[in-house]
């Protein structure tokens, strides 16, 4: 909400407070000032040590350079038809000023003006915005000759003074503007852009913010009294109201003003409306908007004569009711809208007139010809207005307020304020009385507060009198009885509940009024909770650490993807699909973490060497229920095994065994025993001959291998093969780790090598398993150090060479070692058809 400081000053004295101080107080109290736009008032600068605490824009008007002046005569320019020369008095001297303003052109050559025009006058050296530039460009006025006439100063447009974008003509000030006065004193302003949170709906108006400021500063709120003269027949004799559903329309108030003259509002009013972000239309429409910004009650003005004509001989009868599905209404923006039963209508006996609380109808709107105005102020159900504004995409100042809740008490205040302004600006006569249908007044919640409540929830010691004082500033009614405070919310607030909720609502107001800054900082004195920890999370973090140590870079991908993106790797029939995606390529929750990781590999394909991992959920839809969110781990590696350097020109690529080595280290880091690896051809995206499944005991916990060349083709990868591993983290974590260490021996080991020739079809793991089994406890380690194939040993055969480490708690003799070795060789020969290679 844009809030001109000058308007605030109608209701509270801000003397001695800078604009920034006002903004700071509001911000700390929950009315966050998002920006300050200076329109004339002096701006703080960083030079004086004062910092821009808020986002700041705008312009200051120099007191001695920009003043109120009057135009006494408009004369033709000797050399230019479209320019005029003004006889202008700036309070000191009369001088000639050149202008091209079209809005005084009609006065050219009419001689001395009977009523001089009050204008904003910028003297030589004044800094203002360049009216002809696009956007806001500062310029300083210098002496120049324009078409042979010297010019050094100018009368200003709103754009030149930073009030609005308006540059069609010069500003014509109200007649009471004092000539010679610095313009900043007359109408210098600053506009606070205040964010209105849902709980602050009551403050979406000038009086509301002034009320908060009064409470925060301890200053007096200048409460306005609405008084006006009335004349003619009372409105209740002319108009009746029928509310069909009080839940949707708790109150409806009508007032009437006759014999208005439609014309522009006073300049001061137009300027304020523009600063507040509302375009001035005419005095009647402006009065409804001004009253709304002033008090928070959106108003609607009907052309009474149109309603009268529609009613014929009968009394005008206003009816509010839900629309019938399919009913149509042309709103004042000229759109014919098809309504549903969610929408509430204001009708007369002939049919709909306006969409309640959202937008008026075209037929009964105020026009240049309007003479008599029927003014509506009403209370509506905020949820209903919210739905309607959304349904018809009609965000407006009125629907903004109504969809957050406006207290029904404001309906009457709003209408009276509106009538008062209309009478003041249009010369109309207000009809006596109001028609007020008020079938459903809101509850006036009363909340009981004790000093213990304040201590228990806010942690501060206040007496009941202190609490009452803090709340009274915000217009709560407070009564102390039996060591309790009975608090009643003021009649502009809908945000105070009852019981324990009401207590929280009221304590928030106590805290705000007391000042959050004044509440001390304490360390908790409460009991410590049961220590349950989060083993799954801790374990996952350990996995991350192991992978980082193994040289993998962690990535985090979007959970949202599309079936097409994933289909390069795998096809799924069912997805968790968004009803409102931002884009088709982000319309489902991922099924495959590997697809996400491969996209990242593709994205980084230019890197020499890539080793990535991601840990996170995939989303498996369950019909009619929440999806399963199993957690996965995916690794991917491709590119050079060794980092290149100026003397390292080349390196082999990562292959299957690089990935396997890292997986082995990962799993040994997690202390899983009983690991085995078996070939698998069941993963379509992996190379059928270069893929393995990882088992712990009998359970398959993951698969890995080289990406199938057919799959690889679908990506823009480099030439190097791509290794992928995918683990089911829930299955992996479900395995039982085995802790315990092998003691470090004091005596030296006996080292031996053994090489055996076996058939190609015998897996290395089988040979090693047999060696280990036969060697027993004394055989501390078996390490494969060579695999050889060649003519020497014959086709279809391979030679496997192992380092054997014998270790006992005493020194083994060579004879003992030889005996074990002999046993091993024998079993390999007998069981695997192996031959010792000599």
Partner 1 sequence: MLEQLNEIEKTALDALRSVADQAALEAWRVAHIGRSSPLMLVFAGLGKLSKEERPAVGAAANRVKAALEAAFEEKVREIKEAALAKSLAEETLDVTLPGRAVHVGRLHPSTQQLRRVLAILAEMGFQVYTSREVETDEFNFQLLNFPPNHPARDMQDTFFVEAGERGENPILLRTHTSPGQIHAMREFAKMNPDNPPPIRIALPGMCFRYEQITARSEIQFNQVEGLVVGENITFADLKGTLSDFARRMFGQNARTRFRADYFPFTEPSAEMDVECFVCGGKGCSVCKNSGWLEILGCGMVHPVVLQNGGYDPKRYSGYAWGMGPERQLMLRYRIDDIRYFWGNDLRFLEQF
Residue 810 interacting with partner 1 (CB under 8 A): no
Residue 375 interacting with partner 1 (CB under 8 A): no
CB of 180 to partner 1, least distance (A): 37
Site pattern 343..362 for partner 1 (x: CB under 8 A): --------------------
Rounded to whole angstroms, how far apart are CA atoms 74 and 104? 8
- Return the number of the residue (394 or 504) whose C-beta is nearest partner 1: 504
- Paired sense of beta strands 239-243 and 316-322, if any: parallel
Q: Which stretch binds partner 1 (CB under 8 A): 288-296, 350-358, 379-387, 783-791?
A: 379-387
- Return the number of the residue (200 or 293) whose C-beta is nearest partner 1: 200
Residue 664 interacting with partner 1 (CB under 8 A): no
CB of 536 to partner 1, least distance (A): 7
Q: Which stretch binds partner 1 (CB under 8 A): 256-264, 302-310, 615-623, 750-758?
A: 615-623
- Return the number of the residue (453 or 706) whose C-beta is nearest partner 1: 453
Residue 524 interacting with partner 1 (CB under 8 A): yes
Residue 516 interacting with partner 1 (CB under 8 A): yes
Cβ–Cβ under 8 Å, residues 326 and 308:
no
Cβ–Cβ under 8 Å, residues 799 and 788:
yes
- Return the number of the residue (725 or 771) whose C-beta is nearest partner 1: 725
Rounded to whole angstroms, how far apart are CA atoms 173 and 116? 11
Rounded to whole angstroms, how far apart are CA atoms 189 and 184? 7
CB of 595 to partner 1, least distance (A): 13
Q: Which stretch binds partner 1 (CB under 8 A): 77-85, 112-120, 441-449, 501-509?
A: 501-509
Residue 584 interacting with partner 1 (CB under 8 A): no
Task: Select from 138, 146, 309, 383 the one that contacts partner 1 (CB under 8 A).
Answer: 383
- Of 23, 60, 24, nearest to 45 by C-alpha is 60
- Return the number of the residue (458 or 782) whose C-beta is nearest partner 1: 458
CA distances 659 to 262, 314, 556, 726, Å, are: 83, 90, 21, 11
CB of 400 to partner 1, least distance (A): 10
- Of 165, 103, 99, nearest to 131 by C-alpha is 165
CB of 293 to partner 1, least distance (A): 19
Rounded to whole angstroms, how far apart are CA atoms 321 and 725? 64
Q: Kindly write down the DSSP assignment for every residue of 132-150, as one continuous string.
A: TSSS--EEE---EEETTEE
- Greatest pairwise CA separation for the chain in angstroms: 134
Q: Kindly write down the DSSP assignment for every residue of 171-203, as one continuous string.
A: ----TT--TTSBHHHHH-EEEEEE---GGGGGG
Rounded to whole angstroms, how far apart are CA atoms 346 and 365? 13
Task: Select from 166, 397, 424, 508 the one that contacts partner 1 (CB under 8 A).
Answer: 508
- Return the number of the residue (16 or 533) whose C-beta is nearest partner 1: 533
CA distances 523 to 350, 459, 520, Å, are: 68, 11, 10
Site pattern 528..567 for partner 1 (x: CB under 8 A): xxxxxxx-xxx--x--x--xxxxxxxxxxxxxx-------
Task: Select from 512, 660, 733, 827 the one that contacts partner 1 (CB under 8 A).
Answer: 512
Residue 624 interacting with partner 1 (CB under 8 A): yes
Rounded to whole angstroms, how far apart are CA atoms 528 and 698? 42
CA distances 813 to 423, 744, 818, 820, 821, Å, are: 119, 19, 9, 11, 13
- Of 160, 136, 428, 412, nearest to 282 by C-alpha is 428
- Paired sense of beta strands 625-628 and 620-622, if any: antiparallel
Task: Select from 109, 581, 679, 737 the one that contacts partner 1 (CB under 8 A).
Answer: 581
Residue 699 interacting with partner 1 (CB under 8 A): no
Residue 582 interacting with partner 1 (CB under 8 A): yes
CB of 197 to partner 1, least distance (A): 4
Residue 649 interacting with partner 1 (CB under 8 A): no
- Return the number of the residue (33 or 696) whose C-beta is nearest partner 1: 33
Rounded to whole angstroms, how far apart are CA atoms 195 and 474? 20
- Return the number of the residue (316 or 640) whose C-beta is nearest partner 1: 640
- Of 269, 220, 584, nearest to 424 by C-alpha is 269
Rounded to whole angstroms, how far apart are CA atoms 70 and 451? 63
Rounded to whole angstroms, how far apart are CA atoms 611 and 722? 10
Site for partner 1 in 137-176 (CB under 8 A): none
Residue 570 interacting with partner 1 (CB under 8 A): no
Task: Select from 481, 522, 719, 830 the one that contacts partner 1 (CB under 8 A).
Answer: 522
Task: Select from 607, 747, 765, 787 the one that contacts partner 1 (CB under 8 A).
Answer: 607
Task: Select from 91, 264, 627, 673 the one that contacts partner 1 (CB under 8 A).
Answer: 627
CB of 722 to partner 1, least distance (A): 15
Rounded to whole angstroms, how far apart are CA atoms 117 and 177? 10
CB of 318 to partner 1, least distance (A): 27
Residue 458 interacting with partner 1 (CB under 8 A): yes
Question: Which backbone phi and psi does 447 adopt, to 5 degrees?
Answer: -120, 140
Q: Per-residue b/e over 148-166, b at no fewer than 16 CB within 10 Å?
A: ebebebbbbbbbbbbbbeb
Rounded to whole angstroms, how far apart are CA atoms 575 and 591? 7
Task: Select from 85, 254, 503, 804 the one that contacts partner 1 (CB under 8 A).
Answer: 503
Handedness of CA 496, 499, 500, 506 (dihedral sign): positive
Task: Select from 72, 586, 789, 827 the one that contacts partner 1 (CB under 8 A).
Answer: 586
Site pattern 238..277 for partner 1 (x: CB under 8 A): ----------------------------------------
Rounded to whole angstroms, how far apart are CA atoms 691 and 37? 66
Other CB atoms closer than 10 Å to residue 780's CB: what's the count? 15
Residue 460 interacting with partner 1 (CB under 8 A): yes
Site for partner 1 in 12-31 (CB under 8 A): 27-30
Question: Which backbone phi and psi does 233 adopt, to 5 degrees?
Answer: -75, 140
Site for partner 1 in 35-74 (CB under 8 A): 46, 51-56
SS3 state of residue 87: strand
52: which residues sit within 8 A by CB, 6+ positions away? 44, 46
Cβ–Cβ under 8 Å, residues 378 and 355:
no
Rounded to whole angstroms, how far apart are CA atoms 553 and 612? 5
Task: Select from 137, 324, 578, 681 the one that contacts partner 1 (CB under 8 A).
Answer: 578
Number of residues that bind partner 1 (CB under 8 A): 106
Task: Select from 76, 102, 178, 198 the one that contacts partner 1 (CB under 8 A).
Answer: 198
- Return the number of the residue (101 or 595) whose C-beta is nearest partner 1: 595
Rounded to whole angstroms, how far apart are CA atoms 162 and 688? 72
Task: Select from 93, 313, 645, 742 the one that contacts partner 1 (CB under 8 A).
Answer: 645
Q: Which stretch binds partner 1 (CB under 8 A): 232-240, 522-530, 669-677, 745-753?
A: 522-530
Residue 374 interacting with partner 1 (CB under 8 A): no
Rounded to whole angstroms, how far apart are CA atoms 611 and 529? 41
Task: Select from 404, 407, 712, 797 the one that contacts partner 1 (CB under 8 A).
Answer: 404
- Return the number of the residue (171 or 547) whose C-beta is nearest partner 1: 547
Task: Select from 151, 283, 403, 426 the one that contacts partner 1 (CB under 8 A).
Answer: 403
Site pattern 438..457 for partner 1 (x: CB under 8 A): -----------------xxx
CB of 396 to partner 1, least distance (A): 15
CB of 620 to partner 1, least distance (A): 10
């Amino acid at each position: 909400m844009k809030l001109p400081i000058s308007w605030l000053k109608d209701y509270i004295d801000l003397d001695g407070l800078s604009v920034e101080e006002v903004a700071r107080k509001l911000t700390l109290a929950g009315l966050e000032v998002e920006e300050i736009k200076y329109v004339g008032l002096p701006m703080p600068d960083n030079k004086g040590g004062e910092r821009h605490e808020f986002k700041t824009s705008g312009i200051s008007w120099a007191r001695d350079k920009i003043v109120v002046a009057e135009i006494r005569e408009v004369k033709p320019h000797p050399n230019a038809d479209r320019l005029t020369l003004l006889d202008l008095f700036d309070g000191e001297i009369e001088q000639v000023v050149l202008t091209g303003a079209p809005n005084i052109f009609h006065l050219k050559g009419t001689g001395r003006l009977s009523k001089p025009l009050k204008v904003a006058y910028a003297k030589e050296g004044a800094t203002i915005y360049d009216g002809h530039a696009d956007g806001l460009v500062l310029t300083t006025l210098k002496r120049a000759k324009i078409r042979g006439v010297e010019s050094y100063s100018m009368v200003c447009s709103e754009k030149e003074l930073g009030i609005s974008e308006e540059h069609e003509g010069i500003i014509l000030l109200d007649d009471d503007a004092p000539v010679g006065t610095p313009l900043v004193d007359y109408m210098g302003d600053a506009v606070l852009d205040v964010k209105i949170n849902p709980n602050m709906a009551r403050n979406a108006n000038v009086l509301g913010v002034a009320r908060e400021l009064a409470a925060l500063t301890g200053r007096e709120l200048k409460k306005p009294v609405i008084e006006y003269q009335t004349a003619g027949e009372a409105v209740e004799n002319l108009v009746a109201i029928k509310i069909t559903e009080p839940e949707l329309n708790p109150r409806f108030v009508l007032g009437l003003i006759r014999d208005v003259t439609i014309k522009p509002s006073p300049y001061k009013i137009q300027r304020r409306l523009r600063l507040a972000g509302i375009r001035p239309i005419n005095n009647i429409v402006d009065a409804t908007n001004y009253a709304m910004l002033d008090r928070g009650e959106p108003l609607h003005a009907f052309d009474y004569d149109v309603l009268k004509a529609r009613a014929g001989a009968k009394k005008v009868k206003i009816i509010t009711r839900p629309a019938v599905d399919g009913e149509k209404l042309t709103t004042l923006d000229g759109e014919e809208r098809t309504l549903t039963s969610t929408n509430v209508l204001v009708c007369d006996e002939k049919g709909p007139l306006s969409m309640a609380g959202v937008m008026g109808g075209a037929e009964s709107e105020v026009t240049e010809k309007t003479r008599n105005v029927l003014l509506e102020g009403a209370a509506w159900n905020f949820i209903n207005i919210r739905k309607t504004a959304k349904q018809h995409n009609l965000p407006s100042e009125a629907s903004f307020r109504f969809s957050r809740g406006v207290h029904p008490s404001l309906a009457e205040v709003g209408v009276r304020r509106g009538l008062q302004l209309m009478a003041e600006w249009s010369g109309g006569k207000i009809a006596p009385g109001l028609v007020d249908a008020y079938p459903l007044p809101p509850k006036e919640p009363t909340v009981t507060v004790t000093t213990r409540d304040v201590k228990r929830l806010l942690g501060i010691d206040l007496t009941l009198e202190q609490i009452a004082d803090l709340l009274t500033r915000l217009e709560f009614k407070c009564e102390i009885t039996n060591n309790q405070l009975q608090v009643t919310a003021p009649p502009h607030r809908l945000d105070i509940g009852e019981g324990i909720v009401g207590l929280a609502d009221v304590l928030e107001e106590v805290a705000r009024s007391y000042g959050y800054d004044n509440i001390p900082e304490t360390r908790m004195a409460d009991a410590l909770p049961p220590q349950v920890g989060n083993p799954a999370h801790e374990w996952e973090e350990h996995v991350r650490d192991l992978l980082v140590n193994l040289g993998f870079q962690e990535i985090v991908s979007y959970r949202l993807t599309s079936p097409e993106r994933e289909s390069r790797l795998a096809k799924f029939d069912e997805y968790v699909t968004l009803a409102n995606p931002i884009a088709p390529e982000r319309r489902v929750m991922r099924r495959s973490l590997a697809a996400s990781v491969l996209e990242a590999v593709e994205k980084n394909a230019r890197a020499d060497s890539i080793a990535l991992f991601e840990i996170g959920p995939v989303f498996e839809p369950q019909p009619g229920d929440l999806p399963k969110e199993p957690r996965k781990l995916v690794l991917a590696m491709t590119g050079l095994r060794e980092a290149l350097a100026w003397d390292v020109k080349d390196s082999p690529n990562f292959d299957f065994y690089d990935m396997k080595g890292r997986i082995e280290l990962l799993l040994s880091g997690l202390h899983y025993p009983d690991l085995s690896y078996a070939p698998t051809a069941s993963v379509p995206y992996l190379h059928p001959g270069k893929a393995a499944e990882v088992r712990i005991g009998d359970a398959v916990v993951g698969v890995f291998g080289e990406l199938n060349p057919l799959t690889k083709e679908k990506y823009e990868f480099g030439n190097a093969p791509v290794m992928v591993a995918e683990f089911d983290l829930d299955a992996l974590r479900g395995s039982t780790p085995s802790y315990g260490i092998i003691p470090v021996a004091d005596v030296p080991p006996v080292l031996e090598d053994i090489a055996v020739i076996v058939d190609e079809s015998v897996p290395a793991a089988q040979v090693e398993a047999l060696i280990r089994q036969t060697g027993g406890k004394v055989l501390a380690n078996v390490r494969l150090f060579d695999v050889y194939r060649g003519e020497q040993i014959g086709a279809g055969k391979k030679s496997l060479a192992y380092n054997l480490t014998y270790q006992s708690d005493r020194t083994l003799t060579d004879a003992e070692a030889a005996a074990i070795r002999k046993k091993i060789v024998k079993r390999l020969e007998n069981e695997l058809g192996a031959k010792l290679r000599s």
